[in-house]
Structure 1
Amino acid sequence: MAADEAEKARGKRAALSFAAVALVLGLPLWWKTTETYRASLPYAEISALGSLQFQLTVPVSVVFAKGALSGAQQRRLPFADTKEKESFLNSKTSITSRYEMAYRSATATEQAALAMATVHETDIALLPLQENSLGALTVYVIPDTSLLLPQGVGVYIGTHRSAVMRCPQGSRDVLAATSARVQQIAQAMSFTTDSIAAALSDRVPTDQLGTDTRRPFKSSLGYEITFSLLNPDPKSHDVHWDIEAAVSSYVQPFLSKLSSVANFSVASQILYYAVLGVSPRFDEASSSFTLSAASLPHVINPVEARLGSSAASLYPVLNFLLYVPERIHAPLYIQDKDGVAVGTNAFHSPRWGGIMVYNIEHPAPAKASLPLRVDVDMVRVMEVFLAQLRLLFGISRVPLPEEFLLASPGSEGLADWELDRLLWTRTVENIATVSTTLTSLAQLLDKIGNIVIKDDVASEVYRAVASAQTAMLELASGHLGAAFQASKEAVTSSERAFFDPSLLHLLYFPDDQKFAIYIPLFLPMAVPILLSLVKILREAKESKKEPAKTD
């Protein structure tokens, strides 16, 4: 009898020991080893990035030449003034344009440059004297009687980051009138609300955007440019083009100027028997063939299938096609929506590229030996492609008053202030892209709770948030170069975090599938333990009742 009692006591202790080990040690150990590791993320900072309150500051130095101001006005120099204008694009996005103007007198060296014969020479001489920082402008104010500017020209905007203007006359407050004119010049050389709204096209209602908003390519860390020569009739035309020399002379200086914006690669190819997807219409009046504006959208798709560059590229591809018409369809001209022949005989497609039709000036006679050698005039071709390239990057001339004179950008095809104008929009666009990417990532991770968040992913998110915040602060301080670099770093980090392979939700099982895996493992062990505990509890209750009956 005593042995049975000892055996039961030993069984109870064994069952309690198994239960204690399973509950105290096994269950916490299993929970800890199977839990999803999720590094902490700055959700509050990401949410704050969703509200984009941009403050764009443009530092402007206003330099008065000798004789531009009266003695009393001259004694007020130097001093500073600030002009602000706030525009609300929507409930979460606003732009504050801030122009910090510092007024001073011209130095002796600047005065000597302003006394040169032509304003072009003055523009070159003033370049070493300016603060060569991105986004900073200098406006030189000359007397109204000066002969530096041509007759009828009130403002000259050079190829660098400076402008020359006549001092306003006929106003009681010359300094106030000068300030208003300088602000107008600064808007033309830096940014406008419309240009920033175009950069935020995904956040702005369509009624607030211009018609050409969708034309430029979206901001990217790199672009691939492909020049293609289409020869649909090689039996009739032996076409030669010196594309290497043309790219070196026209395109490469332009891309070198944009090297701080993105990385570029240039390629070229010749495609034979590549025809357009639309049959030209013969015009008896001019004895030529025409392509109407309505048929142009149908031209690209059949040709694009043979280009073969976009499918293998990680970056956006800009396509520029030179098409030499077939002999039976020559000459071929492009017409606009009004039926008038386009002067350049070319057209461009938003966020894709451009096509130019190149007619042979002296076609071969009917009995001439074929194929006819054709040497392409690359100067005429590259002028068209360079103009299209500017449009595809959003570099277009803004409407200005008639008294404004713009200098030619020269061989580089891009003025310094036009580069700054592009950097303003790209910086804002990058910050908006980072905000959208991180917000989407935070929502994804919040929705799928069993996705692992590794430390390197979290560090990229923190780096992206910090870089975006730095870019916002640098924009407010007027440091465009630092702001743009910070925005590029923010885009890079946010994309690394968003596209990290460890965040692929298909790698993780839903919770119900996890339980389906673990229950067959734990149930055979848990059932005996639970039955033993139930038996021990039942026996304990019965043992308490027996003494009460005995009494």
Structure 2
Amino acid sequence: MSNYELERRRCQLAAVSVAAVVLFVGVPLWWRTTTTYRAWLPMAQIQEFSKLQLLLDVDVEVVFARGTLTPEQQKKIPVTQTRDEQHSVDGGTSLTYRYETRYRTATIMEEDSLNQPTAAETDLSLNTLSESPCGSLVVYVIPESSSLLPQDVDVYVGQRRTALVRADAETKAGKTLKQVLAGVEPRVKEVLRVMSFSHGDIMAVLSNRVRPGSGSLPKKDDSIRSFKSSPGYEITFSLLNPDPKSHRLYWDIEGAVHTFVQPLLSKLSPLANFSVDSQTLYYTMLGFNARFDDHHSAYTLSADSLAHVINPAESRLGSNAASSNPPLNFLLYMPDAQHSPLHILDPQKRLVASNAFHSPRWGGIMIYNVNRANGTLPVDVHINMAKVMGVFLAQLRLLLGVKPTARTAGILVAPPGYSGLSDWELDRLMWSHSVENIATATTTITSLVQLLDQIDTIVINDNIAEQVSNAVASLQLATAELESGNLAFALQYSKEAILASERAFFDPSLLHLLYFPSDQKFAIYIPLFLPMGVPLLLSLLKIVAEVRQRRKDKLAKKD
């Protein structure tokens, strides 16, 4: 074999060796080192949440007091009945409300509590015997002749989770137990309508999963003025003094918060964390164009002009950039001497008694007028904090989703008491927040999975996978606790689910390779691999051509 042949054979072996190294070592190594890391996610469980199916279980206990049942009827007690209400919602969401009602007779201690002079004292005494768990209700059926309730009242709703219901005059005369229970059921439903959640409450928090105009949402949705569920809220009380030369204002905001606001926030602690601060702003005006009204002998603001009042003062209220929690602003405004007194008119051109208004999902404003009869400036003003906080607390309840109870004939609702919130009002909020947290967390998780499916260059690290798994596990626990009627645990798990889902969705690592698509990869790799790949490919093609030519020559010699 000549030197030329040896040199050509050596070049062919070198080309084949380089190609083998590239194909069997370089390509797998490059593929391995450039592959996007994606940790395992529980896709099967996440797909189940795309169609949200919730079952809300409410435990109701109906207790018959002495004199409401005959001895024959008492022998057949206790009795348990279950009633389901199913609702289909757009987007694959279905809701089932299960009311498990247990009927029994009152114990000796409960009979003693039912002998209290007033219904309020009875409610307090019954609560000291045993405190009902969150989300459950106890309805006491008292004789028709009982003096606990006024003659025109058939249902009394207490501050806790108990209610008193007056029995019919013909409840036990010649009727079976089934007929007696059927006669009590309408009034028990009235108690549920007031003290427990309604379908409208649940649909309001599921508005993001319902197609607008589909008819599933209630026509009059008061939830647009309340804040969405959040792990925390920032409450700020601001005193606006546009004319310090005319007024020297004194307000005991610290004492007022401790006396009036803190009891309510302590009651709401299962729902969220609250932080409260205050400030005094000088030379800060509201954006209004007040006109003097001869009829009322005062400057007035019409209802249609209130939307423009907030904007000029909002820039001076301070920034909430340090926290992601939504802010609730409450402004106490003292009009200057040129626009005093200042009153708010309702759409019917009547004076608003509180002289205040609230802005949906923002806060409230109260205008505080003072008497300048002495004519000496500046006027020392000691603000009546009880009056001011009474207005702000009513606005705070509305902004947090506590709906006022409509007055109904025959139903008497006890005032919320010192804390400003009844136990059953807290339960209604807990039902709504639990469902809203579950719906929000499922939407966040399913949106994240859809995003990861569409963009395969996003890295899924172990931290994201852990947060997603935690969110899925918390969602499963929250739905299971709702089905079991354990409202407190359901709320806690739903809060954990929404926190874990948001941590996964907003993880900064998701954005590292988000804007590095495949076409840009080719733009980077081609200048690196093309100068080496083209000569190597041409050498391999030449070797293949020579091998084919040799085979043809051998076949020709044989022939």
TM-score range, shorter-chain basis? over 0.9
Identity of aligned residues (%): 55
Measure how far apart 1:113 and its partner are. Answer: 0.7
Distance (Å, rounded) in 1 between the aligned partners of 2:431 and 2:463: 31
- Any residues of structure 2 matched to 1:267-306 within 5 Å, and which? 267-306=277-316
Structure 1: segments with no counterpart, 5+ residues: none
- Distance in 1 between the 2:293 and 2:283 partners? 24
1:101 corresponds to which residue?
Answer: 101
Structure 1 position 545 matched with structure 2 position 556: no
> 2:372 pairs with 363, 377, 392, which one?
363
2:438 maps to 1:431: yes
Report whether the alignment pairs 1:409 with 2:416: yes
TM-aligned CA deviation for residue 498 of structure 1:
0.4
Whichever residue aligns with residue 20 of structure 1, its letter is A
Query: CA deviation digits over 1:287-316, x for unaligned, max 9?
Result: 200000010000011111110133443110
- 8 Å contact from structure 1 (residues 226, 319) kept in 2: yes
Deviation at 1:284, TM superposition (A): 1.6
Structure 1 506/326 Cα, relative in aligned 2: closer, same or farther at 3 Å? farther
Question: Shift of the alpha carbon at 1:215?
Answer: 0.7
Alignment of 1:85-484 (within 5 A): 85-170=85-170, 172=175, 173-204=179-210, 205=212, 207=215, 208-209=217-218, 210-360=220-370, 362-366=371-375, 368=376, 370-484=377-491
SS in 1 for 2:225: coil
* Paired letter, 1:218: K
- Aligned to 1:187, the other structure's residue is in SS state helix
Residues 134 and 481, structure 1, Cα contact 8 Å, conserved in 2: yes
Shift of 1:506: 5.9
The residue number in structure 2 matching 1:14 is 14
Distance 1:446 1:453 in 2: 11
Deviations 1:391-419 (Å, cap 9, x if unpaired)?
00110223353111111111100011110
Count of paired positions: 548
CA-to-aligned-CA distance 1:198-220 (integer Å, 9 cap, x gap): 11122233553324220110000
Match of 2:535 in 1: 528
Match of 2:526 in 1: 519
CA 482–307 in structure 1, closer or farther in 2 if over 3 Å, else same: same
The 2-side partners of 1:116 and 1:202 are apart by: 48
Separation of aligned partners in 2, 1:430 and 1:548: 79
CA–CA distance in structure 2, aligned partners of residues 110 and 471 of structure 1: 34
Q: Is 1:201–1:213's contact at 8 Å kept on the other side of the alignment?
A: no
Are 2:458 and 2:513, in contact at CA under 8 Å, matched by a contact in 1? no
1:507 positional shift: 5.0
Contact 1:130 1:138 in 2 (8 A): no
Distance 2:534 2:394 in 1: 79
What do the CA deviations read for 1:135-162 (whole angstroms, capped 9, x no partner)? 1111111111111222221111111111
Q: Is the 8 A contact 1:238 1:373 kept in 2?
A: yes
- Residue 505 (structure 1) shift: 5.8
Q: CA deviation at 1:508?
A: 4.2
1:145-201 Cα offsets, whole Å, 9 max, x none, are: 111222221111111111111123336522112123213212321100011111112
Cα distance in 1, alignment partners of residues 393 and 543 from structure 2 = 90
Distance 2:115 2:556 in 1: 124
Q: Aligned partners of 2:337 and 2:271: how far apart in 1?
A: 42
Contact kept, 8 Å, 2:457 with 2:513, in 1: the verdict is no
Comparing 391-400 with 448-457, greater Cα deviation is found at 391-400
Secondary structure (helix, strand or coil) at the match of 1:355 reads strand
Structure-1 separation of matches of 2:262 and 2:251: 17
1:164–1:219: structure 2 CA closer, same or farther, 3 Å change rule? same
RMSD over aligned Cα atoms: 1.6
2:380 alignment partner AA: R
Aligned partner letter, 1:31: W
Q: CA deviation at 1:91?
A: 4.9
Mapped contact 2:459–2:513 kept (Cα < 8 A)? no
Provide the rounded CA distance (Å) in 1 between the counterparts of 2:5 and 2:87. 88
The secondary structure found in structure 2 opposite 1:213 is helix
Residues 434-485 of structure 1: CA distance to partner in whole angstroms, max 9, x if unpaired? Answer: 1221122122111111010111101211211221122112111111111111
| Aligned equivalents of 1:476, 1:283: Cα separation in 2 | 58
Looking at structure 2, the residues matched to 483 and 445 of structure 1 have their Cα atoms a distance apart, in angstroms, of 29
With normalisation by structure 2, the TM-score equals 0.95
Report how far residue 359 of structure 1 moved.
0.5
TM-score (norm 1): 0.96
CA deviation string 1:66-103 (max 9, x = no partner): 11112222111011011221223325223222110111
